[in-house]
Every structure is written in structure tokens, then in C-alpha cells.
Amino acid sequence: MQGLIVVGMLTMRSSHNLGLGQPHMRRRAGREPLRLTDKIVARFRSKVKEGDPLECWLWQAGKFPTGYGMFNVGRFPDGRQDTRYAHRVAYEIATGIYPPLGLVVMHECDVRACCNPNHLMLGTQADNIAHTRELGIYREAARRRWSRKVA
């Protein structure tokens, strides 16, 4: 099909996967996310290929099926894993801000495995959808995939 490139699963597809809706990511009352200690931060950085500030820094370890990096912060006292999206942890390390409920950490570069904080920004899910629209990304419903218009 001319004028189309398939870009796979992109940000819109993941609206329910960006951390708030998944049972293992959901914050429960009385259970705050684990604190990022220096040791955890060092372990995190060992899994990111840091390079030029302008380029994407790709996550080198395990990923969610959606393509986002997966990072095990540690275990809660009840033994459950605190598993998070790597790009969200990258954002938290860089800014000191744990992304508040209702907000998503968006990739300016649209590279899901990217952990370069320069490419990450906080936004609402509506911002995220608008961003993908700006990029010309749309859903081909019949084919169940995301595509992107190219000029």
C-alpha cells in the first residue's frame, strides 16, 4: 500500500498499558512505589545504553510485549515485585518526580525502548493521543494495526 508505513504498536495502542491500568502497575492505597536508592539507580543505568544527548538511549534488558523496557525495582514487603516501565523510571531518576496518577510519560521520539530523559515528557493521555495524531499515526481498524502517513 503506497504512502503507508506500518509502525507497529505505538503510543495510542498502549493507552491502557502506560502504567495506570495494568494490575501489576496499579498503585494501591497504603502501598507506595519503592524508593529508588543509589544502588537501584546504578543497576538501572547499567541496562541503558547512554550516548549522545540527542540520540535515543535504548533499554538493553527485558521488555514488555509492547516494546517498553521493563525494570524490576525490587520487592514489596509482601513479596510482590515492583516492576515498572523503564522509561518512567528514567524520567523519575532525571527529574526526581514520580509520574503522578493520571499522567503518562511520553516519548517525543516515539521509540518505546528509549530511556533518554531528553526524549521524555510528562503529559495527559489526551496529549499522548494528540502527539500521535501530529505524527500522522492512525489506526487501521480493519487490519488491527497502527499505520503512519508519510508525505
Which of 9, 20, 70, 111 forms a contact with Zn ion (CB under 5 A)? 111
Between 81 and 95, name the residue whose CB sits nearer to Zn ion: 95
CB atoms within 10 A of CB 29: 5
Cβ contact 146:140 at 8 Å: yes
Terminal Cα-to-Cα distance of the chain (whole angstroms) = 14
Task: Number of residues interacting with Zn ion: please give it, by CB under 5 A.
Answer: 6
- CB of residue 96 vs Zn ion: minimum separation in angstroms? 20
According to CB under 5 A, which residues from 31 to 70 bind Zn ion? Answer: 56
Q: How far apart are CA 113 and CA 22, in angstroms?
A: 19
Which of 12, 20, 34, 109 forms a contact with Zn ion (CB under 5 A)? 109
Between 84 and 119, name the residue whose CB sits nearer to Zn ion: 119
Query: How far from 89 is each of 39, 105, 121, CA to CA, in Å?
Result: 14, 10, 12
25-33, 62-70, 103-111, 136-144 -> range binding Zn ion (CB under 5 A): 103-111
